[in-house]
Amino acid sequence: KKYNVAVVGASGAVGEEIFCVLQEQKFPIAKIIPLASKRSSGEEIKIFGQKHRIKETTPEIFAKEEVEIAFFSAGGEVSKEYAPHAVGAGCLVIDNTSHFRMDPSIPLVVPGVNDEDIAQCNGPGIIANPNCSTIQMVQVLAPLHKAFGIKRVDVSTYQAVSGAGKRGMEELVHQMQKFFAFELEDASPQAFPHRIALNLIPQIDKFLPNDFTKEEMKMIQETNKILHSQIAISATCVRVPVLRSHSESISITFEREVPALEARKILEQAKYIKVCDAPKDLFYPMPMNATDTDETYVGRIRNDLYDRKILHLWCVADQLRVGAATNAVRIAELWIQKN
């Protein structure tokens, strides 16, 4: 069977990546329907080498175009407004925003980690795609949790500007151009709260009353929903001037002593994970190498010097792919298999 597939946010950074992944994965498509806001409706885009015109996202469009699978990545408000109409028209919605993620009636899925949760959505409905930083972290934590039992996780992220969409990527490039023109002082920040070029910003999303940011709380809550666990997690999320791969420094406290070598063996067998860990050869994951790939890379795996129950590691993945488009397409493929 082939499906009529819509992408809401077709002109955005994630939307464009979804088209690439659909093509690479030879997704069974009957008709592709690119949707965005009124602003870009009528604009021509090339998908799979063919010209298409973007259509406006409206409540009626899903029924009119007989959409069967709809990928949403146009912000939480758009999902809130239009996803129910898509479901009403009989669609499977795969939602990239945070809007439905913590709703107990909506599965939050990372293929390879909690595939069985897809069963909650048999037929039309919504499946939520987790936060980008959560996805790459749970891919690493899940096999280790299963093998050894995790008690606590402390993570610091180094998140690329692509997480803020196209305007985030453009802002970094623009500010770097200003730097080379000796005009960086005039680079007024818009996508970020401060200048991002040649800087780091220890704030992603809004601050909450507990002094953590929303992004940090997403990593904490979503991880435990996906793993069906009650792991103590603390996160510090930092925006860095990297274009599109997120890195994470993760410290994991296990129930028992876990030699780094044993953890490494488990990770070498984990789905969608590549271990890159040869310090002697200066070999470890870096954003530059992860970009435009569908794997999550892990390295610097080592035991804590004071407590053998603690392991430290470093993990990198392409934010637009693993953190968004690839995971969304993998969810759709799983749903097709199971339905």
Binding site for ligand A2P (CB under 6 A): 8-15, 36-37, 39-40, 57, 74-75, 78, 165-167
Q: For residue 179, what are the β-bridge partners?
A: none
Backbone angles phi, psi at 185, to 5 degrees: -60, -30
Instruction: Quote the least distance from Cβ 75 to ligand A2P, whole Å.
Output: 6
Q: Known catalytic residues?
A: 132, 246
Instruction: Quote the least distance from Cβ 254 to ligand A2P, whole Å.
Output: 37
Could you tell me the two tokens for 181? 């023109």
Helix intervals (H) in the chain: 13-24, 61-64, 76-88, 132-148, 165-180, 214-227, 260-268, 287-290, 326-338
Chain-centroid distance of CA 163 in Å reads 8
Evaluated on CA atoms 76, 318, 273, 251, the torsion sign reads negative
Residue nearest to ligand A2P (CB): 12
Instruction: Quote the least distance from Cβ 66 to ligand A2P, whole Å.
Output: 19
Instruction: Quote the least distance from Cβ 291 to ligand A2P, whole Å.
Output: 17
- Please say which residue, 143 or 165, places its beta carbon nearer to ligand A2P: 165
Chain-centroid distance of CA 3 in Å reads 24
**Element holding 157 (H helix, E strand):** strand 150-159
Could you tell me the two tokens for 310? 């603690």
- Please say which residue, 38 or 51, places its beta carbon nearer to ligand A2P: 38
Q: For residue 93, what are the β-bridge partners?
A: 70, 126
Instruction: Quote the least distance from Cβ 250 to ligand A2P, whole Å.
Output: 26
Query: Could you give the CA distance from residue 169 to residue 171 in angstroms, rounded to a whole number?
Result: 5
- Please say which residue, 78 or 334, places its beta carbon nearer to ligand A2P: 78
Q: Of 297, 305, 248, nearest to 277 (Cα)?
A: 297
Q: For residue 312, what are the β-bridge partners?
A: 251, 302
Structural contact between residues 143 and 299, judged by C-beta atoms closer than 8 angstroms: no
